[in-house]
């Protein structure tokens, strides 16, 4: 048969989905499936991306809540300590000291104890010996003359003004020194300075009562120290510990 009269054979190869005027549905279907697969993978990646950041945000939220809980637990612990101190002060001072003064004393003692690493009861023992928790106490010598000591921790004005300057507090007046919070902040800072200066709690406590110059002079002369004040503070401290244990029961 002549080649010119032969019937043309159909081309069954897979080419582009448009071949001349013919649309190849097999390729169109394949392209559609590939497109859908790509869209699915893009959506899956986007979902994973969103979930990743959601988990990160969730973890940050949990960490923030944990920090807030720690702060809250610490605040609750501080309030409980202050409440115990107030109860203890009330049993010691009776009704002579106003409630607002007791709250100031309790808050400052608890804060100062935590800041400087003191047992709050030890600070209370010093205050007990110095002023019997009388916020308006003024010191007197055995002769009856005023000693120039003021407030809960019986601070000399010149010494208190010097410590206030080191702490960055505003200039003092005798009236402001009688403020329980200011008096305690300065008094505890001064006691801490003396303990560090003498490298001894006992010597620092004695220097607080007798003055650092007297302690240095006594030690230089190799003379015995007067431990009466130290013994009084320790006696008050152990008494306060027993009383606090009874209150907490």
| Residue of higher predicted confidence among 39 and 203 | 203
Average pLDDT of the residues in 96-121: 82
Backbone angles phi, psi at 155, to 5 degrees: -95, 140
Say what the pTM is.
0.67
- All domains in the chain, ordered by first residue: 67-248 (1.10.530.10)
| Residue of higher predicted confidence among 204 and 51 | 204
Do residues 102 and 89 make contact, with C-beta atoms less than 8 angstroms apart? yes
Average pLDDT of the residues in 213-226: 94
Distance CA 24, CA 171 (A): 95
pLDDT of 194 strictly over 90: yes
Q: What is the mean pLDDT of the chain?
A: 82
Q: Which residues contact 181 (CB under 8 A, 6 or more apart)?
A: 104, 107, 108
Do residues 189 and 169 make contact, with C-beta atoms less than 8 angstroms apart? no
Q: What is the tens place of the pLDDT at every residue in 51-76?
A: 888 887 877 877 777 777 776 666 66
Q: What is the tens place of the pLDDT at every residue in 133-165?
A: 888 888 877 666 777 899 999 999 999 999 999
Q: What is the pLDDT of residue 118?
A: 86
Residue 107 binned pLDDT confidence (cut-offs 50, 70, 90):
confident
H/E segment holding residue 18:
strand 18-19
């Amino acid at each position: 048969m002549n080649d010119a009269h032969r019937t043309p054979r159909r081309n069954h190869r897979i080419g582009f989905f448009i071949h001349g005027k013919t649309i190849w549905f097999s390729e169109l279907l394949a392209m559609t499936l590939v497109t859908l697969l790509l869209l699915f993978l893009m959506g899956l990646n986007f979902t994973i991306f969103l979930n990743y950041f959601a988990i990160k945000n969730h973890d940050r939220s949990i960490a923030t809540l944990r920090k807030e809980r720690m702060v809250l637990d610490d605040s609750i612990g501080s309030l409980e300590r202050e409440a115990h101190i107030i109860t203890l002060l009330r049993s010691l001072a009776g009704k002579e000291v106003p409630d607002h003064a007791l709250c100031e004393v309790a808050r400052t003692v608890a804060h100062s104890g935590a800041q400087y690493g003191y047992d709050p009861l030890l600070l209370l023992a010093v205050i007990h010996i110095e002023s019997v928790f009388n916020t308006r106490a003024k010191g007197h010598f055995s002769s009856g003359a005023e000693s120039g000591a003021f407030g809960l921790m019986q601070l000399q004005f010149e010494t208190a003004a010097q410590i206030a300057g080191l702490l960055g507090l505003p200039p003092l007046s005798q009236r402001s020194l009688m403020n329980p919070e200011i008096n305690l902040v300065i008094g505890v800072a001064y006691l801490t300075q003396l303990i560090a200066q003498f490298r001894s709690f006992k010597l620092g406590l004695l220097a607080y009562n007798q003055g650092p110059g007297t302690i240095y002079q006594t030690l230089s002369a190799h003379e015995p120290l007067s431990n009466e004040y130290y013994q009084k503070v320790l006696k008050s401290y152990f008494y306060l510990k027993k009383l606090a244990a009874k209150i907490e029961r």
